[in-house]
Chains A and B, each alone.
Chain A
Amino acid sequence: MDAEAAKLIGAGLAAIGAGLAAGGVGNVFGSFLQGALRNPAAADSQQGRLFIGFAAAELLGLLSFVVAMILIFVA
């Protein structure tokens, strides 16, 4: 296979990671809402943890974006 074509295919495959991270971020906020609607009084105090979970889930998706960018522009 042509090396350039292989790079672009690899970058496209890396986009799967971004999609999976979307699921992860949705899960974080969805679970938070599920808990928050059952006990709204306790929801505000847990907002910090919500964003920590969001940051952790998002970072892994962003890493796949980095992989794609490296494949296209650097490798």
Chain B
Amino acid sequence: MATESGKIDPMYQFEIHPLVDFNLFGYDISFTNSSLFMLLVLGVIWIFMAGGMKRDIVPGRWQMAVEGVSGFVNNMMSSSIGPEGKKYVPFVFSLFMFILVANFMGMMPFGIVPGVHTFTVTSHFTITGILALMSFSIVLIVGFWKHKLHFFSLFVPHGTPWWLLWLIPVIELFSFMVRPFSLALRLFVAMMAGHVLMKVLAGFVINGINAEALWVAPLVSVPSFILMIGITMLELLVCAIQAYVFALLTSLYINDAVNLH
């Protein structure tokens, strides 16, 4: 590979290794490191939710945190959909929590234990693509169930002049069909780009320290390390923003299906 810096390959962290081999009817459904991290994410969310669902009148710290997150999603749904948004809160909340915790899980420094590699679940297009397809199919199902064929009026915005009727629906249809791709691509690329950047910087630090010339370490490794601390904080911010953007756009798309423009 042309882009390896020394012996450190920035793309290695995205490789999927089977941990337990399974074969079902000729399909490979092995338990991989990706599955392991998805289970870990599930476990973290389960512990977080179980600890906070005590329904105390005076909430403690933990219950306050859980109520804060669920109240945040609740607010977002009711402000972008209206009173009917309550029905979709469980779906968007699960989506938001899964993406948020999966993003943070990928940033955890498990790598200090030798032989353990952190894996970012959301840095694969298959997984973000399935998440995006789920919210897209909910939009389609809700739209066609609620409005039947009237749902197609989504593609003709109010006040379209008659002489543009041949063009506007085509553009609207195109922008509608592109939604799942843009939704999935944004999350996947943002996570992958950040992790590649951090691995490249880490490569600078390690190769600089190992270099034969002594001036390389203070001149290259130390600034790279300081930059890496800043980039790590930026990545934590991006983790939260991407989860929020995914949930926000999903709520806007559901709004299209519920209220039609």
Q: Which residues of B contact A51 (CB under 8 A)?
A: 241, 244-245, 248
A33 close to chain B: CB less than 8 A: no
- The residue in chain B whose Cβ has the minimal distance to the Cβ of A56 is B182
With both chains docked as a complex, state the minimum distance between the C-beta of B250 and any C-beta of chain A, in angstroms.
12
Main secondary structure of the interface of B (DSSP, over half): helix
B79 and A72 contact, CB distance less than 8 A: no
Within 8 A of B (CB), among A31-69: 48, 51-52, 54-55, 58-59, 62-63, 65-66, 69
Q: Contact partner of A55 among B1, B76, B245, CB < 8 A?
A: B245
Given that A4-B2, A52-B249, A52-B252 are known contacts, is A58 also in contact with B190, CB under 8 Å in the complex? yes
Given that A51-B245, A52-B249 are known contacts, is A59 also in contact with B186, CB under 8 Å in the complex? yes
A62 and B185 contact, CB distance less than 8 A: yes
A72 and B189 contact, CB distance less than 8 A: no
B248 and A48 contact, CB distance less than 8 A: yes
Within 8 A of A (CB), among B8-66: 11
7 closest A-B pairs by CB: A62-B189, A55-B245, A59-B186, A65-B193, A51-B245, A66-B189, A59-B182
**B interface with A by C-beta (< 8 Å):** 1-3, 11, 76, 79-80, 182, 185-186, 189-190, 192-193, 241, 244-245, 248-249, 252
